């Protein structure tokens, strides 16, 4: 049996909602199964005084699996995002984004995945703070950093409470914005440990290859610890890269009809420091339907010169309605 990823295993995601929690089986034989899932997520956002109704990651997706033999399973997934708030808000088509699209094999040996998916660093480590529906989350390595495309990853099976993984993203020779790049690879790896009951630790490495279009000068190392007990989950995250340091903490509490959650994130680039805060709560009418309210407050400190990885020097209030199937 494969060891569950920290984020999937934690109450943070169990309560805040996996994308395919309400997946419906649309085809099934003795060995093959195909599920369809989706989400409509709409928000009223006050972005530092500017109001807007917007889509917040609405999507539709399909998962398939084929049991080849008792110890080997093939799997595949395809997921697409679309703007649910405005029929005219589309870029030359209904779908705006091709999300997780991959295939692979899973068995007693572990798991091999090829295609477009979140990086292993994020899955094992920095994702523990990715709990906000709208804005507020940030990390030195997020899901799409040096990932989501042309990637191959191998993860071991559960090794007595331990699991390890390594992945590589391929970059072809290319010219981007006038800069020529040679063919290159970027490596990510992690180790995850369930040392005691309810406590999971993980360490991760991102090569952050400077010879790639989205690479940097220094490799990135991260570590997280997650503790979960009944309706309570808490996580801490530490990341470092050269002069940069990120320390974050977050948690969630299930109060019966929903969840209360929040996080704090501090970035230090070696010169000065900036802190972001975010809190939220939701009310679940059913397993499929929830409403939520969130508040995020930031500063003007970007994450390694990436201004889109911070709330900014402002506050953002969100009211949302989300339906999963």
Q: Kindly tell me if the per-residue pLDDT of 15 is higher than 80.
A: no
272: pLDDT confidence band, cut at 50, 70 and 90? Answer: confident
Domain 6-324 annotated CATH 3.30.9.10: no
Report the b/e string of 81-110 with b at 16+ CB within 10 A.
bbbbeeeeeeeeeebbeebbbbebbbbeeb
- The full set of domain ranges for the chain reads 6-324
304: pLDDT confidence band, cut at 50, 70 and 90? Answer: low
DSSP alpha helix (H) spans, 113-258: 120-124
Q: Kindly tell me if the per-residue pLDDT of 241 is higher than 50.
A: yes
271: pLDDT confidence band, cut at 50, 70 and 90? Answer: confident
Q: Kindly tell me if the per-residue pLDDT of 206 is higher than 70.
A: yes
DSSP 126-158: GGGG---SSS----SS-TTTT-SSSEEEEE---
DSSP one-letter code for 309: G
Q: Mean pLDDT across the stretch 241-270?
A: 95
């Amino acid at each position: 049996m494969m060891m569950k990823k920290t984020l999937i295993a934690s109450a943070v995601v169990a309560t805040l909602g996996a994308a395919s929690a309400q997946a419906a089986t649309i085809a099934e034989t003795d060995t093959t199964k195909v599920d369809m899932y989706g989400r409509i997520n709409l928000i009223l956002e006050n972005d530092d005084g500017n109001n807007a109704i917007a889509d917040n990651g609405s999507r539709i997706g399909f998962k398939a699996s084929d049991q080849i033999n008792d110890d080997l399973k093939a799997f595949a997934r395809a997921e697409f995002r679309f703007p649910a708030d405005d029929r005219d808000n589309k870029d030359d088509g209904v779908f705006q984004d091709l999300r997780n699209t991959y295939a692979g094999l899973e068995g007693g040996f572990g798991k091999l995945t090829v295609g477009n998916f979140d990086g292993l660093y994020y899955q094992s480590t920095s994702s523990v703070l990715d709990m906000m529906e709208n804005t507020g989350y940030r990390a030195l390595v997020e899901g799409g950093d040096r990932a989501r495309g042309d990637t191959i990853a191998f993860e071991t099976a559960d090794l007595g409470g331990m699991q390890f993984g390594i992945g590589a993203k391929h970059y072809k020779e290319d010219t981007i914005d006038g800069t020529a790049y040679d063919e290159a690879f970027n490596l990510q790896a992690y180790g995850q440990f369930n040392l005691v009951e309810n406590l999971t630790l993980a360490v991760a490495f991102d090569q952050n290859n400077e010879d790639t279009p989205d690479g940097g000068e220094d490799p990135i190392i991260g570590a997280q610890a997650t503790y979960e007990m009944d309706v309570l989950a808490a996580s801490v995250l530490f990341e470092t890269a050269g002069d940069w340091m990120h320390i974050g903490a977050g948690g969630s509490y299930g109060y019966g009809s929903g969840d209360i959650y929040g996080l704090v994130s501090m970035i230090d680039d070696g010169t000065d420091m900036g802190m972001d805060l975010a809190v939220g709560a939701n009310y679940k009418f059913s397993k499929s339907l929830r409403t939520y309210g969130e508040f995020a407050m930031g500063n003007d400190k970007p994450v390694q010169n990436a201004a889109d990885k911070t709330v900014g020097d402002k506050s953002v209030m969100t009211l949302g309605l989300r339906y999963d199937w």
